[in-house]
Amino acid sequence: MSRLASRCCGLGSYRLAADNLDELCGIQLSHTKIGEIADETAGKIAEQMEDNPALRTALRDVFQKAQGEIEFYADGTCIRTRNDVGVVEYREVRVGAFARRERSVSALPEEWGTRDLLKPTVVSAFAAIESAKDFQERCQVERRRIGVGGVTSALGDGAPWIWNVVRAVFGKTDECLDIYHGVEHISDCGKELHGAGQTFEDWLDKMRLVLLSEGFAGMERELSALLSGKLKKNKRKALESLCVYLRKNEGRLPYAERLSAGRAIGSGLIEGACKNLIGKRMKQTGACWKIPRANKIATLCATLYSNKWKYCWKKYH
């Protein structure tokens, strides 16, 4: 019963969990009881991860035996919380994931949106509301737990705290800015330059291909040419802002090389975790979390998103 209640609670609201348990299993529990079971289960999972050698060995073996290169992802999503004195505030749930993925077939820049990227063979995710420093330590713990030394590449949306964590945990590694976030910044600039309409769409298509084909060098050439002409203040500001953003990520834009090698150029794996598990579960209308309970639910969500769930129950729970 605890396993079913906790799984339902990690995937949906307390009310939905109660309805599913009743409808599918004939188990009738109050929302309060389901919350208590979920809290207890999350605590046991965390304890087992820390203190159960057999479980740690199993999780390490699963990750080490999986095929593919080791990727690291990190992101964050804000949820509504209530602090100890009752004040409502938004706090960031930081989410990390290690994955192994085999390389896909080689692709050209113009094929980036239609190529078939192979799915990860294994995922190990974790999440918590905590400072960047504490999250960095959590990454170290998770890295050691699954036997990871370095990673082949790290992918993120460009938030400085992500790259700081990557460098602190792994040292120098192959960093890649999520292509969708890069294109989003180009799109924002294009709207200032051209507004909506076909001219904007054509410009965005062109600049996207430049980014994918030539990285920072190509973008710098194109933007410098535009900046050399007479521009209104708002347009010049938009171009300069885009230049600064891309220059900060200059070494994280090797899209053509990664596509040719059959590697990922987007952080969809972690975006999906933030949106479809953490966000969908914890950003429901009216939800307002105490941080200890939020972290326990985040533990359930991350465990469900990983290949960990069955191992936490099958033999070791």
Q: What is the pLDDT of residues 174-215, one digit of tens each?
A: 999 999 999 999 999 999 999 989 999 999 999 999 999 999
* d(C-alpha 311, C-alpha 306), whole Å: 10
* DSSP state, residue 119: P
pLDDT at 315: 52
Classify strands 153-156 and 88-101 as parallel, antiparallel or unpaired: unpaired
d(CA 35, CA 290) in angstroms, rounded, equals 13
Q: Is 146 helix (H, G, I), strand (E, B) or coil?
A: coil
Per-residue pLDDT at 19 exceeds 50: yes
Cα of 278 vs its chain's centroid, Å: 10
Length of the chain counted residue by residue: 317
Across the range 86-93, mean pLDDT stands at 94
Instruction: State yes or no: pLDDT of 275 exceeds 90.
Output: no
Q: Measured between alpha carbons, how far is 106 from 162 in angstroms, rounded to an integer? A: 28
Measure the CA–CA gap between 317 and 310, rounded to whole angstroms.
Answer: 10
Question: Facing residues of 71 across strands?
Answer: 99, 153
Which of the four pLDDT bands, split at 50, 70 and 90, describes residue 316?
Answer: very low
Band (164; pLDDT cuts 50, 70, 90)? very high
Residue type, 76: G
Report the candidate in 265, 225, 288 with the shortest Cα–Cα distance to residue 88.
288
Whole-angstrom distance, CA of residue 23 vs CA of residue 32? 18
CA atoms of 277 and 291, how far apart (whole Å): 17
**Mean of pLDDT values over 254-265:** 97
Query: For residue 50, what are the contacts with CB-CB under 8 A and spacing of at least 6?
Result: none
Amino acid symbol at 24: L
Say if pTM beats, i.e. exceeds, 0.85.
yes
**210 backbone φψ class: left, alpha, beta (φ>0; ψ -120 to 50):** alpha
d(CA 75, CA 90) in angstroms, rounded, equals 16
CB distance 100 to 120 below 8 Å? yes
For the segment 136-146, the average pLDDT, to the nearest whole number, is 95
- The pLDDT mean for the chain works out to 93
**Residue 271 clears pLDDT 90, i.e. is over it:** no
In the predicted structure, residue 217 carries a pLDDT above the cut 80: yes
Cα 206 to Cα 77, 188, 255: the distances in Å are 31, 15, 15
Note whether 261 and 106 are within 8 A (CB). Answer: yes
Give me the helix-helix angle, 198-227 and 179-194, nearest 10°: 90
Is residue 59 within 8 A of residue 65, CB to CB? The reply is: no
